[in-house]
Amino acid sequence: MEKSFTIKDFGDRLRELRKQRGYSQEGFAHAVDLDRTYIGGIERGERNPGLKVIIKIADALEIEAAELFQK
């Protein structure tokens, strides 16, 4: 049985994509108009972002939101 996609997996994927694009957490937080500590919480799997935030993140990374859910 395949393991389901978790909030930690989402955070890991966000961190990977953010770093690939050369963003620091602070710079990325500024780009998506969110607090740096909130982005850090998402990346650590401590926060569960809503759909509006997921779309803002995807737009800033110039990807489709579904790409954030790929392992």
* Domains of the chain, each with CATH number or no CATH: 7-66 (1.10.260.40)
**In the prediction, which pLDDT does 1 show?**
61
Instruction: Using pLDDT thresholds of 50, 70 and 90, give the confidence band for residue 3.
Output: confident
Whole-angstrom CA distances from 70 to 8, 19, 35, 65 are 12, 16, 24, 10
* Per-residue pLDDT reduced to its tens digit, 20-39: 999 999 999 999 999 999 99
Give me the pLDDT at residue 58, please.
98
With 80 as the cut, is the pLDDT of residue 49 above it?
A: yes
Among candidate residues 52, 44, 57, 54, the one with its CA nearest the CA of residue 18 = 57
Residue 51: pLDDT above 80?
Answer: yes
Report yes or no on whether pTM surpasses 0.95.
no
Residue keyed to tokens 């650590």: 44
